[in-house]
Amino acid sequence: MIVGLLGGGVIGAGWAARWVLNGHDVQIFDPDPEAPRKVNEVLTQARRAYAKLLTRDLPPEGALTFAPSVATAVEGAVFVQESAPERLDVKQMLLGRADEVADPSVILASSTSGLLPSAMQAGLRHPERLVVGHPFNPVYLLPLVEVCPGPATTMQVVNDTAAIYSSLGMHPLTLRKEIDGFVADRLLEALWREALWLVNDGVATTSEIDDAIRFGAGLRWSFMGTFLVYRIAGGESGMRHFMAQFGPALQWPWTKLTDVPELTDDLLDTIVSQSDEQASGRSIRELEALRDDCIVAVLQGLRAARPGGYAAGATLDQFDHHAPVDVIVDDDADRALRSPLSTMQRRVTADWLDYNGHVNDSRYMQLSSEATDEFLRSIGSGDAGEGGGSYFTAESHLAYYLQAFEGDELTVEVRVLDHDPKRLRIWTDITRNDELVATAEHMLLHVDRATGRVSSAPRPVLDMLGVVSAAHESLPMPHGAGRSIGQPRTKR
Ligand SMILES: NC(=O)c1ccc[n+]([C@@H]2O[C@H](COP(=O)([O-])OP(=O)(O)OC[C@H]3O[C@@H](n4cnc5c(N)ncnc54)[C@H](O)[C@@H]3O)[C@@H](O)[C@H]2O)c1
């Protein structure tokens, strides 16, 4: 798919990175002669961040070209995103030109932070294809994009735009009606105004205000919004109690939100010098890399918080879905007899490495455990499946044969060695290009979660296990099965 981008500054470059890394060809128009350098630098940052963030391989990168005019940027494109400076006249001019040359089926989206879509639709030949797609910086990492239709925008355009953004790993939030500043910027603007007052009044410095966010509410905001967080703050009596407790404070002078400090030279000097001090000489690219690493860590944390991830972690998990697990049960018995069942593939990301550049030991346990979980789900067991019971690991033994490094494709194969109604003995081989990297053996017990006692697995799970292990009975016992630490070992 070809995408036309109008404007290649901070936001346009972020869009370029998201599209190109998702395998789409991007044509950018930006009159700034420095734009190619800047966009390519942002693309480099995005590649670096994606290598840490995603476990799957992205498609081959799309081509990035710089177009000499709006018409050439839009030529052949099926989607156009405008990210020019926040000036209505500039946006109207660019969108008007795109509207003249693009086929009426092409969607025109604007990254505006707060201009009304109706104002941008005025004068277009096809106002029904204009929609706001308001992203957040860095566009290649933050999933939120506000989709705001104007009065003339069709539902089809809204839905198609949201679907396109979803396909790029984003979380589109469709607004119910147009409003200056949309939803997210109205919230950010309120915080920003208050922050400027606190500096203006000498109450706190720029870094103290940032600390007040990043060590507190900012952490909660990354997975629950203000309303859910406050509901919890109301304790068992919930939201009503919270409102009763803090409602009166709304009448007290806790904010200055109706007022704005005058941006005098003095106030600007204070803000700029405090901000310089906060940056401690680090360049924008260094700060961007630091920011990206932190976003990656938060997203990965939210992905790990629940199976399938939570909040933005769920968006990431869907985007970076695991290679489907190939479980062989009774329909391909020949193949099952030849190989262990159930395989999982993972590419090693940078955050798995030790200080010495090798994959940390704990990751082999994680890989084996995740592959075992996938296997259990495939036979109808797992955390949600079986009415109050599931398999718990009682004992594990790992053996390491080779080191693994960033970028390695590791394959985990799971095999059942033995089972009875309450016990399940699992073996996993972790390989790279058919070379054995590590093995793991686990003894699992089926536990009734209500009583906490070992119990028989349900009949359907045992039936599946019976089919699977019967298919593997003729396989030789893996070298090292049943070994204890320090026993001599032979490589397979
Ligand atoms: N920076 C943010 O955090 C952020 C977040 C969300 C949305 N936005 C919105 O995205 C848009 C772009 O903001 P930005 O931060 O990338 O600004 P920016 O100044 O970094 O980039 C604007 C780019 O537009 C180019 N430009 C100027 N005139 C042009 C023209 N006639 N045709 C094509 N390109 C032209 C400039 O050379 C520049 O590269 C704005 O509407 C802004 O409100 C910004």
Q: Average the pLDDT over 217-235 and give the result.
A: 88
Q: What SS3 state is found at 69? A: coil
Q: What is the per-residue pLDDT for 330?
A: 40
Q: Average the pLDDT over 18-39 and give the result.
A: 98
Q: What is the per-residue pLDDT for 24?
A: 97
pLDDT tens digits for range 418-468: 999 999 999 999 999 989 999 999 999 999 888 889 999 988 889 888 888
pLDDT tens digits for range 78-128: 999 999 999 999 999 999 999 999 999 999 999 999 999 999 999 999 999
30 CA distance to ligand 1 middle (Å): 10
Question: What span, in angstroms and rounded, lies between the C-alpha atoms of 206 and 196?
Answer: 9
Strand (E) or helix (H) holding 345: strand 341-347
Query: 379 with 444: CB under 8 angstroms?
Result: no
What ligand 1 atom has the least distance to the C-alpha of 114? 43
What ligand 1 atom has the least distance to the C-alpha of 86? 41
Q: How confident is the model at residue 379 (pLDDT cuts 50, 70, 90)?
A: confident
Per the prediction, the chain carries an average pLDDT of 89
Q: In testing the pocket of ligand 1, which one of 111, 134, 173 has its CB within 8 Å of the most ligand atoms?
A: 111
Q: What SS3 state is found at 171? A: strand
- Mark 232-254 as b/e (b = at least 16 C-beta within 10 Å): eebeeeeeeebeeeeeeeeeeee
**Which residues of 401-434 form beta strands (DSSP E)?**
409-419, 423-432
- Is the pLDDT at 312 greater than 50, yes or no? yes
Which residue has better confidence, 61 or 476?
A: 61
Q: What is the per-residue pLDDT for 479?
A: 79
The residues, any chain, with a CB within 8 Å of residue 70's CB and separated by 6 or more, are 6, 29, 94, 97, 98, 101
Q: What is the per-residue pLDDT for 210?
A: 95
Q: In testing the pocket of ligand 1, which one of 30, 92, 291 has its CB within 8 Å of the most ligand atoms?
A: 30
Q: What is the per-residue pLDDT for 339?
A: 54
111 CA distance to ligand 1 middle (Å): 8
* Residue reference for tokens 């004992």: 395
What ligand 1 atom has the least distance to the C-alpha of 93? 31
Question: What span, in angstroms and rounded, lies between the C-alpha atoms of 250 and 331?
Answer: 65
The alpha helices in 150-214, defined as continuous H runs, are 155-167, 184-200, 206-212
Pairing mode of beta strands 341-347, 171-174: unpaired
- Is the pLDDT at 360 greater than 60, yes or no? yes
What ligand 1 atom has the least distance to the C-alpha of 137? 3
What ligand 1 atom has the least distance to the C-alpha of 90? 31
Q: Average the pLDDT over 263-292 and give the result.
A: 89
* Residue reference for tokens 């073996």: 427
Q: What pTM did the predictor assign?
A: 0.75
User: Long-range contacts made by residues 424-428, C-beta under 8 angstroms, separation at least 24?
Assistant: 424/391, 424/457, 424/465, 426/372, 426/375, 427/340, 427/478, 427/481, 428/367, 428/368, 428/371, 428/372
Ligand 1, residues at Cβ distance < 6 Å = 6-12, 29-32, 35, 83-86, 90, 94, 111-113, 134-137
Closest residue to atom 8 of ligand 1, CA basis: 113
Closest residue to atom 3 of ligand 1, CA basis: 137
* Window from 110-114, 229-233, 401-405, 472-476 with minimum mean pLDDT: 472-476
pLDDT tens digits for range 382-423: 645 456 788 999 999 999 999 999 889 999 999 999 999 999
Question: What span, in angstroms and rounded, lies between the C-alpha atoms of 344 and 366?
Answer: 12
Closest residue to atom 23 of ligand 1, CA basis: 9
Which residue has better confidence, 398 or 489?
A: 398
84 CA distance to ligand 1 middle (Å): 4
Q: What is the per-residue pLDDT for 386?
A: 52
For 284-342, the three-class secondary structure string (H helix, E strand, C coil) is HHHHHHHHHHHHHHHHHHHHHCCCCCCCHHHHHHHHCCCCCCCCCCCCCHHHHHHCCEE
Q: What is the per-residue pLDDT for 349?
A: 82
Q: How confident is the model at residue 355 (pLDDT cuts 50, 70, 90)?
A: confident
211 CA distance to ligand 1 middle (Å): 29
- Is the pLDDT at 338 greater than 60, yes or no? no
Q: Which residues partner with 428 through β-bridges?
A: 414, 440
Q: What is the per-residue pLDDT for 225?
A: 85
Phi, psi of 230 (to 5 degrees): -70, -30
Closest residue to atom 29 of ligand 1, CA basis: 84
Burial class (CB in 10 A: 0-12, 13-18, 19+), 82: buried
Closest residue to atom 25 of ligand 1, CA basis: 7
- Is the pLDDT at 322 greater than 70, yes or no? no
Q: Which residues partner with 435 through β-bridges?
A: 432
Q: What is the per-residue pLDDT for 285?
A: 87
Which residue has better confidence, 233 or 143?
A: 143
Q: What is the per-residue pLDDT for 323?
A: 39
Which residue has better confidence, 187 or 242?
A: 187
Q: What is the per-residue pLDDT for 217?
A: 92
Question: What span, in angstroms and rounded, lies between the C-alpha atoms of 467 and 329?
Answer: 7
Closest residue to atom 2 of ligand 1, CA basis: 137
187 CA distance to ligand 1 middle (Å): 21
Q: Which percentage of the chain shows pLDDT scores above 70? A: 93
CA 355 to chain centre: 25
- Is the pLDDT at 361 greater than 80, yes or no? yes
Tokens read off for 74: 């839009």
206 CA distance to ligand 1 middle (Å): 25
Question: What span, in angstroms and rounded, lies between the C-alpha atoms of 85 and 147?
Answer: 19
Q: How confident is the model at residue 324 (pLDDT cuts 50, 70, 90)?
A: very low
Q: Cα–Cα–Cα angle for 67, 71, 75, nearest 5°?
A: 80
Q: What is the per-residue pLDDT for 137?
A: 97
